[in-house]
């Protein structure tokens, strides 16, 4: 059993079936071989500012080869994209990121990462359609970049959690400090995580699923 998934899911009360990177006939799950057993297919959106780690998060946990629409940044984009917090960044998402993770025989999460730049926000309405909730990634070095996503999900009523992606060269803050800085309502979970660590991402996703169920139990 994949210890990363089992540890995180067990702490949230989920039973877990291991996932594998390459699916063979012997590795197929019951819902893939028995058409009478349809899994709960759950769509989750990963949003946030430019360069905050959305593509990394999806790629970290996806059990399939993630779909990424990364394009090389050009000199033209330097005039509109703030690279001061991410000077090493050379690519950007121009449509979406897509991945999948199975947490149980009957629970499959489909992850859709949104583009962060303002010029691509027109796609958000299509990407969030049918989602049960969203993870809003934040970077404490650029908290103001989180406000558009927070405002969007508050206005459309979609359940969301705030996850601070802690970078090695950034100061570590307590979740409540971040909540106050972003004026996040008390009902919204706020957590510190690392988009490069599978266990950290899974805990964030499970927190969102639990919060979405509390907000919309039906």
Would residue 176 count as lying in a domain?
A: yes
Q: pTM value?
A: 0.72
Q: Which residues pair with 162 in a beta bridge?
A: 136, 190
Residue at 185 is within a domain: yes
Written as six digits, the tokens of 62 are 């996806």
Each residue's pLDDT tens digit, 154-213: 999 999 999 999 988 778 899 999 999 999 999 999 999 999 999 999 999 999 999 999
Q: Give the burial class of 185: count Cβ atoms within 10 A of its Cβ; 0-12 exposed, 13-18 middle, 19 or more buried.
A: exposed
Domain membership of residue 153 (yes or no) is yes
Tell which residue, 15, 81, 28, 58, has the closest CA to residue 163: 58
Question: Is position 21 within any domain?
Answer: no
Cβ atoms < 10 Å from Cβ of 199: 16
Q: Is residue 12 part of a domain?
A: no
**Apex CA 98: angle with CA 118 and CA 128, to 5°?**
55
Q: Look at the chain and report how many structural domains it folds into.
A: 1
> If pLDDT is split at 50, 70 and 90, which confidence band does 94 have?
very low
The reported pLDDT for the residue numbered 47 is 93
pLDDT exceeds 80 at position 72: no
Separation of alpha carbons 96 and 94, rounded Å: 7
Burial class from Cβ neighbours inside 10 Å (0-12, 13-18, 19+) for residue 51 reads: buried
Residue 206 lies in a domain: yes
Assign 16 to helix, strand or coil: coil
Q: Which domain holds residue 179?
A: 37-72+93-215
Q: What is the pLDDT of residues 103-139, one digit of tens each?
A: 877 789 999 998 855 655 667 788 889 999 999 999 9
Given a contact cutoff of 8 angstroms between Cβ atoms, the answer to whether 159 and 208 are in contact is yes
What's the CATH code of the domain at 171? 3.40.50.300
* Residue 25 covered by a domain: no
Q: Is residue 121 part of a domain?
A: yes
* Planar angle of CA 30, 7, 17, nearest 5 degrees: 5
| DSSP, res 142 | G
pLDDT confidence band for 22 (50 / 70 / 90) = very low
pLDDT at 81 over 50: no
């Amino acid at each position: 059993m994949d210890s990363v998934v089992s540890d995180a899911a067990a702490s949230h009360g989920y039973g877990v079936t291991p996932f594998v990177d390459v699916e063979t006939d012997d590795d197929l799950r019951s819902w893939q071989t028995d058409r009478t057993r349809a899994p709960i297919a759950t769509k989750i959106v990963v949003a946030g500012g430019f360069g905050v780690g959305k593509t990394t998060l999806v790629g970290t946990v996806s059990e399939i080869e993630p779909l990424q629409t990364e394009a090389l940044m050009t000199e033209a984009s330097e005039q509109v994209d703030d690279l001061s917090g991410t000077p090493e960044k050379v690519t950007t998402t121009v449509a979406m990121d897509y991945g999948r993770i199975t947490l149980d025989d009957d629970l499959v999460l489909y992850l859709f990462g949104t583009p962060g730049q303002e010029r691509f926000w027109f796609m958000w309405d299509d990407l969030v359609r049918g989602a049960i909730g969203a993870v809003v990634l934040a970077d404490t070095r650029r908290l103001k970049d989180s406000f558009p996503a927070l405002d969007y999900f508050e206005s459309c009523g979609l359940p969301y959690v705030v996850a601070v992606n802690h970078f090695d060269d950034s100061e570590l803050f307590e979740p409540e400090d971040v909540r106050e800085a972003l004026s996040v309502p008390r009902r919204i979970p706020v957590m510190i995580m690392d988009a490069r660590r599978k266990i950290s991402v899974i805990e964030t996703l499970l927190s969102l699923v639990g919060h979405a169920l509390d907000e919309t139990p039906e």
